Amino acid sequence: MKNSSSTEGTSISMLLYLSLAHLFNDAFQSTVSAVYPVIKDNLSLTFGQVGLSVLVYQLCASVFQPIFGIFFDKRPRAWYLSAGTTSTMIGLLMLAFAGSLYWVMGAVAFIGLGSSVIHPEASRLTHFASGGRHGLAQSIFQVGGNFGGSIGPLLAAAIVAPYGQRYIAVFAGIAIISLLTKSPIVAWYRKKIQLMRSGTVKKAVVHRVRLPKRKIYFSLAVLLVLIFSKYVYMASLSNFYTFYLIEKFGVTTQQSQLFLFALLFASAVGTLLGGPIGDRFGRKYVIWVSILGTAPFSLMMPYANLMWTCVLSVAIGVVLSSAFSAILVYAQELLPTKIGLISGLFFGLAFGIAGIAAAVLGNVADAKSLAYVYKLCSFIPLLGAVAAFLPNVKRTPRVVASKR
Using the predicted structure, report yes or no on whether residue 393 has a pLDDT greater than 80.
Answer: no
**Surface-to-core class of residue 371, CB atoms within 10 Å of its CB (0-12 exposed, 13-18 middle, 19+ buried):** middle
pLDDT: is 170 or 275 the higher one? 170
Task: Report the C-alpha gap between 165 and 45 in whole angstroms.
Answer: 14
Mean pLDDT for 77-94 is: 91
pLDDT: is 151 or 375 the higher one? 375
Backbone angles phi, psi at 201, to 5 degrees: -75, 130
Task: Report the C-alpha gap between 305 and 249 in whole angstroms.
Answer: 8
Share of the chain above pLDDT 70, in %: 89
Question: Which pLDDT band, with edges at 50, 70 and 90, does 401 fall under?
Answer: very low
3-class DSSP state of 398: strand
Q: How far does Cα 124 stand from its chain's mean position?
A: 14
Using the predicted structure, report yes or no on whether residue 296 has a pLDDT greater than 80.
Answer: yes
Q: Quote the DSSP letter at residue 251.
A: -
Domain ranges of the chain: 12-400
Provide the pLDDT for residue 8.
Answer: 53
Mean pLDDT for 357-361 is: 81
Return the sign of the alpha-carbon dihedral for residues 250, 374, 148, 69.
negative
Return the sign of the alpha-carbon dihedral for residues 20, 179, 327, 7.
negative
Q: Which fold, 12-400?
A: Growth Hormone; Chain: A; (1.20.1250)
| Per-residue pLDDT tens digits for 112-134 | 899 889 888 888 888 788 776 77
Mean pLDDT for 262-277 is: 78
Asked if 245 contacts 256 with a C-beta cutoff of 8 angstroms, the reply is yes
Mean pLDDT for 93-103 is: 90
Backbone angles phi, psi at 62, to 5 degrees: -120, -50
- Residue ranges of alpha helices (H) inside 1-129 are 12-43, 47-60, 64-74, 80-96, 101-129
Using the predicted structure, report yes or no on whether residue 103 has a pLDDT greater than 50.
Answer: yes
Strand partners, 398: 206
- Residue ranges of alpha helices (H) inside 182-305 are 183-198, 213-249, 253-281, 283-292, 295-300
Question: Which pLDDT band, with edges at 50, 70 and 90, does 351 fall under?
Answer: low
Provide the pLDDT for residue 128.
Answer: 81
Question: Which pLDDT band, with edges at 50, 70 and 90, does 7 fall under?
Answer: very low
Residues whose CB falls within 8 Å of the CB of residue 363, separated by 6 or more in sequence, listed in order: 47, 48, 51
Using the predicted structure, report yes or no on whether residue 325 has a pLDDT greater than 80.
Answer: no
Residues whose CB falls within 8 Å of the CB of residue 21, separated by 6 or more in sequence, listed in order: 81, 85, 118, 122, 144, 178, 181, 182, 185
Q: How far does Cα 384 stand from its chain's mean position?
A: 19
The lowest-confidence range among 40-54, 125-139, 291-305 is 125-139
Using the predicted structure, report yes or no on whether residue 255 has a pLDDT greater than 90.
Answer: no
Q: Which of 401, 276, 331 is nearest to 7 (CA)?
A: 401
Task: Report the C-alpha gap between 281 and 293 in whole angstroms.
Answer: 16
Asked if 111 contacts 88 with a C-beta cutoff of 8 angstroms, the reply is yes
Task: Report the C-alpha gap between 375 and 303 in whole angstroms.
Answer: 9
Asked if 167 contacts 160 with a C-beta cutoff of 8 angstroms, the reply is yes
Q: Quote the DSSP letter at residue 7.
A: T
Mean pLDDT for 329-354 is: 76
The lowest-confidence range among 60-74, 110-124, 306-320 is 60-74
Provide the pLDDT for residue 2.
Answer: 38
Q: Which residues of 324-350 are buried (b: 16+ CB within 10 A; e: fewer)?
A: bbbbbbbbbbbbbebbbbbbbbbbbbb
pTM given for the model? 0.68
Residues whose CB falls within 8 Å of the CB of residue 214, separated by 6 or more in sequence, listed in order: none
Q: Which of 340, 324, 317 is nearest to 404 (CA)?
A: 340
- Residue ranges of alpha helices (H) inside 282-305 are 283-292, 295-300
Strand partners, 207: 397
First-last CA distance in the chain? 26
Question: Which pLDDT band, with edges at 50, 70 and 90, does 394 fall under?
Answer: low
Q: Which of 115, 107, 112, 117 is nearest to 169 (CA)?
A: 107
Mean pLDDT for 63-75 is: 81
| Per-residue pLDDT tens digits for 179-235 | 998 989 988 888 887 877 776 555 444 455 567 788 888 888 888 888 888 888 887
